[in-house]
Amino acid sequence: MTQPILVTKDMPFCPGCGHGVAVKNLAKALEEAGFRPLDVIIVSDIGCAGLVDPILATHTIHGLHGRAPALALGVSLGLSNPGKKVVAIQGDGGATIGLQHLLEAARRNVDMVLIVLNNLLYGMTGGQMSGLSTQAFKAEKHVDDDTPPFDIVRLAHEAGAAGSARISAPGEFKAYFQEALATPGFSLIEVACLCPSHGVKKLKELAEVIPGDLKLSRQRPPARASYRDTGPLFEKGGPLPAPYSSCIRERLGIVIAGSAGGGVQSVARLVANAGIRSGLHATMKGEYPITVGTGFSLAEVILSRNRIHYTGLEAPDVIVAVTEDGMAKARSRVKPNTALVLDSALRDAAFPDALYGNFHKEAGKQGAALAAAASWLIREGLLEREALLEAARGHQHGEALMEVIEKAAGMVRGLPV
């Protein structure tokens, strides 16, 4: 028996919302097509449509508003596995905000399904009109705007989709989803949905304000084979040479925290590259506010002897923090066994066992994070100084980074044992 795709019968949507009906039918379509939960990758969007993540037993990715098709396109190209299925779900707001991503996925005709849950408005932010709001719906809502809506079904078709359709009858949802899942290439299904909170509350009324159902098909093969080329590095070259060594036995999780302009993301990439040069598997990801140029900057690095299947870092082994902004963001991540490497200006009675150093004084604003991370890694014997220098050498500011690493190596002698 096929494992269930849905993990709950309770939908996270408002009572009567058409999104719940669509998601239930999608789950049935996937199950009846023989897909197991981990054969499916669901990419969701911002908005009401993005509430699907926790109710599905599949792999899930939650993207920025309008970017679900772009993320799904990348996943599909990277998989190259006919036994897996990539499905993107977004609302009408996301579809128009990210229209170029939608059209690019259709043009590439990658093997994926995009479901647009169109309730004719922005439901999560109060019912504003979207690029798919029809003239009839605007008139009902007394909106004075004569700009016609996009017809994304026709747009996807003209861009090169293998199949595209608009449906409004809930009894037909599953059949259309099944056809899309079985179609090689890109398929778009626009689902007309009720929004009991801000929009149309009855199917009869919905039929009066949306265009009629539509089905367009090119039925051409996907473009994956001619587009996808990973090159010899990953498919034939094998592991990269590892001229350096590390005493990391299993896995090391590092959080590096500072302020914008302090090179935190560059330090994390450098440490990850040094780990790779030391025969380790490595991942790196960054976090910073939308303003980018102000506020905190935080990065996570995992170095491991074994393949890294999950990049989450809930309990870091060490937190390196050099500014108030960074420490404020990283403080909640401190666990009982987390080592702390902090700039002396952050001295705190709550952390008497932290390793404090004059990293800002010795290396300046842009070098403090690197000095702190490098001095601790070298002090603990986790990465060789030469591995860090080699990783820095290829950077556009390589000479400056190498100078900081050399300072960090000298600082090791002055740090508490």
Q: What is the pLDDT of residue 230?
A: 45
Confidence of residue 168 (pLDDT cuts 50, 70, 90): very high
Contact partners, residue 304, CB within 8 Å, separation at least 6:
248, 250, 251, 252, 280, 281, 282
**Is the confidence at residue 219, as pLDDT, over 80?**
no
What local confidence, expressed as pLDDT, does residue 413 receive? Answer: 63
- Residue 233 scores a pLDDT above 50: no
Residue 255: closest CA among 214, 296, 209: 296
Most confident stretch, 83-87, 137-141, 231-235, 253-257: 253-257
Does the pLDDT value for residue 231 go beyond 80?
Answer: no
pLDDT at 83: 87
Residue length, the chain? Answer: 417
Q: What is the structure's pLDDT at 282?
A: 96
Per residue in 250-268, pLDDT (tens digit) is: 999 999 999 999 999 999 9
Among residues 53, 104, 106, 111, the alpha carbon closest in space to that of 77 is found at 111
Q: Is 232 a residue whose pLDDT tops 80?
A: no
Q: Give the chain's mean pLDDT.
A: 90
Class of domain 251-414: alpha beta
What is the pLDDT averaged over residues 80-99?
Answer: 92
pLDDT digits (tens, 9 = 90+) for 309-362: 998 898 999 999 999 999 999 999 999 999 999 999 999 998 999 999 999 999
Q: Is the pLDDT of residue 94 over 80?
A: yes
The domain locations on the chain are: 18-227, 251-414
The alpha carbon of residue 158 and the mean position of all alpha carbons in its chain are separated, in whole angstroms, by: 29
**What is d(CA 346, CA 326) in angstroms, rounded to the nearest whole number?**
10
Instruction: Render pLDDT for 99-121 as a digit per residue (tens, 0 to 9).
Output: 999 999 999 999 999 999 999 99
Band of residue 1 on the pLDDT scale cut at 50, 70, 90: low
Q: In this predicted structure, what is the pLDDT of residue 227?
A: 47
85 confidence band (pLDDT: 50, 70, 90): very high
pLDDT of the residue at 239: 67
CATH superfamily entry for domain 18-227:
Thiamin diphosphate (ThDP)-binding fold, Pyr/PP domains (3.40.50.970)
pLDDT of residue 228: 47
Q: What is the pTM of this model?
A: 0.62
Pairwise CA distance, residues 339 & 337, whole Å: 6
Tokens of 140: 């009902």
